[in-house]
Amino acid sequence: MNFDILNDKEYIEIVSDILNSDNFKKLKYIKHHSSNRYSHLIRVSYASYRLALKEDLDYKSVARGALLHDYFFTDNTKLDREGRLHVLFNHPLHALYNAKKEFKLNKIEEDIIISHMYPVNISWKPKYKESKLVDKVDNIISILEFSNYTKRKLKNFLFSFIYNRV
């Protein structure tokens, strides 16, 4: 995705309070798939926003809700399997709690955050078209990020294997 996010004045205006939050900036230092949680959230938010504009959906709620869907501070890479599974299933609750503490959310934004792991977590089924859109975009971007991470790990392993054999 090669969008020029910084030159999209309307998008930046919609989410500037979130992007300028000191807590949100802390997400730059938490690993998420192939990069960090901050970058992941921006990718999901902006792609969802652009699609919501085309689909005539509430693009403001989409941009904001998507930007906060993983607004939690646990580093899953430092947890054991049981801890990672707990975070996988429950992080929408933590993200919603953190987002509500810091930002004023509407019902669509709340639903985007709490339901973005559907159907992995069947407890929170998306209620709005906007929530379903963000859930799908998040899934696609997460798969791309994870496949980049896996490809890089495999490449490093193969180079190391070959180098150590020569």
Q: What is the pLDDT of residue 2?
A: 47
Q: How many CA atoms lie within 13 A of 126 on its CB side?
A: 21
Please give the model's pTM, rounded to 2 decimal places: 0.84
| Phi, psi (deg, nearest 5) at residue 31 | -65, 140
pLDDT one-digit tens code per residue, 16-51: 999 999 999 999 998 877 789 999 999 999 999 999
pLDDT one-digit tens code per residue, 72-89: 987 766 656 665 655 667
Q: What angle, rounded to 10 degrees, do the helices at 129-165 and 37-54 form?
A: 140
Dist CA 82 CA 58 (whole Å): 37
166: pLDDT strictly greater than 60:
no
**Which of the two residues, 1 and 59, has the higher pLDDT score?**
59
CB contact at 8 A, 24 and 71: yes
pLDDT one-digit tens code per residue, 95-134: 999 999 999 999 999 999 999 988 877 778 999 999 999 9
1: pLDDT strictly greater than 50:
no
144: pLDDT strictly greater than 80:
yes
Q: What is the pLDDT of residue 35?
A: 82
Using the Cα atoms of residue 68, residue 69, residue 73 and residue 77 in order, give the sign of their dihedral.
negative
Dist CA 90 CA 82 (whole Å): 12
